[in-house]
Amino acid sequence: MTDNVVTSLINGSPVANAGGHLMPVINPATEELVCHLREADA
């Protein structure tokens, strides 16, 4: 995958992903894919 992948931060600390599921982050103004966000579990 050539898209950027962002890891979640909770209280400023990176959080391990919860199973590797990636959620697309879409810019609503342009409908372009900005990045993918890894699902995290707090």
Question: For residue 14, what are the β-bridge partners?
Answer: 9
**What would the pLDDT profile of 1-42 be if each residue is shown by its tens digit?**
445 666 777 788 877 666 668 889 999 999 999 988 877 766
Number of domains composing the chain: 1
How far, CA to CA in Å, does 28 sit from each of 4, 10, 14, 36?
18, 24, 26, 15
pLDDT at residue 1, rounded to an integer = 44
Residue-number span of the structural domain to which 13 is assigned: 5-40
The alpha carbon of 40 is separated from its chain's Cα centroid by a whole number of angstroms, namely 9
- pTM for the structure as a whole: 0.56
Handedness of CA 29, 34, 36, 37 (dihedral sign): negative
pLDDT at residue 2, rounded to an integer = 44
pLDDT at residue 19, rounded to an integer = 66
